[in-house]
A and B are shown apart, each in its own frame.
Chain A
Amino acid sequence: MKFAIAVFSPPQAPATRRALRFTEAALAAGHEISRVFFYGEGVHNASANIVVPQDEFDTAAAWRLLITDNGLDGVVCIAAALRRGTLNAEEAARWDRPAATVLPPLELSGLGQLHEAAQSADRLVCFGGD
């Protein structure tokens, strides 16, 4: 089955850990993940600047690794990301901001990417709230 994943909660939220585990399990079971879309507070998962204590799980790093290792399409909503200061190099330059925290392969794009993912996947699975 082809899944699109939408993440609306920040790295610390249980819902985000469930999204990560669901995505891993779907891949392990041979399913396809057509896109992981980060929206709302979920955009913080795309930040490469998060530092967690050494004995704690780094959810944002786990997303980056999962997306990179599996060649997934990881997309961050650009409007939600700009509001929260999670910019890539291009947007940091455009808005004259001092830091880019969203690194490739994650990319910033519009909400159309969420709709496109929902349309093309068999199932859209959303993770938000607590």
Chain B
Amino acid sequence: MAKSLLIVSRSAPWSGLAAREALDIALAGGAYDLPLGMLFMDDGVFQLVEGQRPEALKQKNLGANLQALPLFGVDALFACSASLAERGLDPAMLAVPATLTAPEALPAVFNQFDEVITL
């Protein structure tokens, strides 16, 4: 049986390539039908917010790719609720349906997966 993998994405979409490259790991794994999950925490939660205009910074929008994750078989999506609160983000602002997870529940999320990659 295939090993499951959790990709932890901790960077804002506008702060370099990390967000893009974390997402690419998920999309690549989805193409191989691997059991994958993504956890957005710290500045990574900014990726989930609706109504961004990255074109103004001549950046590509990650939103379409993020919303396509379930189509790639990546449907275990988690967002750290404390990371959202620390940044003044309300769950209603999220464009991507992710399970809100409190910090004390994160160890249980990590335990659901065989391997973890953090970017």
| Partner-B contacts on A (CB < 8 A) | 6, 8, 39-40, 79-80, 83, 110-112, 114-115, 118-119, 123-124, 126, 128-129
- Determine how close the nearest CB of chain A comes to the CB of B8; give it in whole angstroms: 10
Question: Contacts A40-B17, A79-B24, A80-B21 given: A115-B118 contact, CB under 8 Å?
Answer: no
Determine, out of B27-35, B53-61, B67-75, B97-105, the stretch whose residues face the partner at the interface.
B27-35
- Determine how close the nearest CB of chain A comes to the CB of B15; give it in whole angstroms: 13
> Is there contact, CB below 8 Å, between B28 and A111?
yes
Question: Contacts A40-B17, A118-B3, A119-B2 given: A126-B28 contact, CB under 8 Å?
Answer: no
Chain B interface category by residue count: 10 to 19
> Is there contact, CB below 8 Å, between B21 and A115?
no
Pull 5 A–B residue pairs with CB atoms less than 8 Å apart, ordered by A. Answer: A114-B25, A115-B25, A118-B117, A119-B34, A129-B118
Q: Is B12 an interface residue (CB 8 A)?
A: no
- Inter-chain CA distance A6–B116, complex, in Å, is 11
> Is there contact, CB below 8 Å, between B32 and A124?
no
> Is there contact, CB below 8 Å, between B115 and A128?
no
CB-CB < 8 A to A126: which residues of B? 116-118
Q: Is B94 an interface residue (CB 8 A)?
A: no
- Inter-chain CA distance A115–B5, complex, in Å, is 9
Chain B residues 12 to 42 lying within 8 A of chain A, measured CB to CB, are: 17-18, 21, 24-25, 28-29, 31-32, 34
Q: Is B82 an interface residue (CB 8 A)?
A: no
CB-CB < 8 A to B118: which residues of A? 126, 128-129
Q: Is B95 an interface residue (CB 8 A)?
A: no
> Is there contact, CB below 8 Å, between A112 and B32?
yes
- Determine how close the nearest CB of chain B comes to the CB of A115; give it in whole angstroms: 5
> Is there contact, CB below 8 Å, between B117 and A6?
yes
- Inter-chain CA distance A36–B42, complex, in Å, is 28
- Inter-chain CA distance A79–B17, complex, in Å, is 11
Q: Is B119 an interface residue (CB 8 A)?
A: yes
CB-CB < 8 A to A110: which residues of B? 28
CB-CB < 8 A to A112: which residues of B? 28, 31-32
- Determine how close the nearest CB of chain B comes to the CB of A127; give it in whole angstroms: 10
- Determine how close the nearest CB of chain B comes to the CB of A123; give it in whole angstroms: 8
